């Protein structure tokens, strides 16, 4: 209400930026309308950011909105050093064998008094068995 009275009282004295001599003035509404890209990614997805991470994400969003993202990525990719292809050495083969041995399942020993069974993977999560499977795997 106070603002309305102020504007009515002083309207003839309030000059537009163009009338004050500013030539390249654009509407500031573009700032308010383009903030959605930032707020959606930074706030609405329930993410937390460090200052460094927030600055990096804002830089990526700005580059995408300005159409500069692909050029920036191409420049960065050109600066990366391409690693030479490593031939199969005995060390790599040894590492491969060790991981294979590690990933093999040990045979299960039957327990006395325990019932053995499986939980089907394709059970709907709305069913009790599906809920149990989901609880065990997540």
| pLDDT tens digits along 28-48 | 555 556 677 777 777 766 677
pLDDT at position 120 is 67
Q: Which residues contact 61 (CB under 8 A, 6 or more apart)?
A: 37, 38, 41
Give the sign of the dihedral formed by CA 33, CA 34, CA 37, CA 39: negative
Q: Are 61 and 41 in contact (CB under 8 A)?
A: yes
User: 22-29, long-range: CB within 8 Å, 24+ apart, which pairs?
Assistant: none
How many Å from the N-terminal Cα to the C-terminal Cα in the chain?
56
What pLDDT was estimated at residue 30? 55
pLDDT at 136: 77
Residues of the chain with pLDDT under 70: 25-34, 44-46, 79-108, 118-120
Q: What pLDDT, on a 0 to 100 scale, did the predictor assign at position 79? A: 67
Q: Over the Cα atoms of the chain, what is R_g?
A: 31
How far apart CA 19 and CA 118 sit, in angstroms, is 80
Quote the pTM value. 0.34
Structure confidence at residue 95 (pLDDT): 54
Q: pLDDT value at position 97?
A: 54
């Amino acid at each position: 209400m106070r603002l309305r009275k102020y504007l009515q009282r002083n309207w003839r004295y309030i000059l537009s930026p163009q009338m004050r001599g500013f030539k390249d003035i654009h509407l500031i509404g573009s700032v308010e309308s383009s903030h959605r890209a930032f707020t959606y990614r930074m706030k609405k997805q329930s993410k937390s950011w460090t200052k460094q991470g927030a600055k990096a994400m804002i830089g990526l969003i700005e580059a995408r909105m300005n159409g500069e993202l692909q050029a920036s990525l191409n420049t960065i990719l050109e600066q990366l050093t391409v690693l030479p292809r490593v031939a199969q050495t005995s060390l790599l083969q040894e590492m491969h064998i060790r991981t294979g041995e590690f990933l093999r399942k040990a045979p299960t020993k039957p327990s006395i008094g325990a019932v053995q069974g499986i939980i089907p993977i394709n059970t709907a999560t709305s069913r009790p068995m599906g809920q149990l499977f989901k609880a065990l795997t997540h």
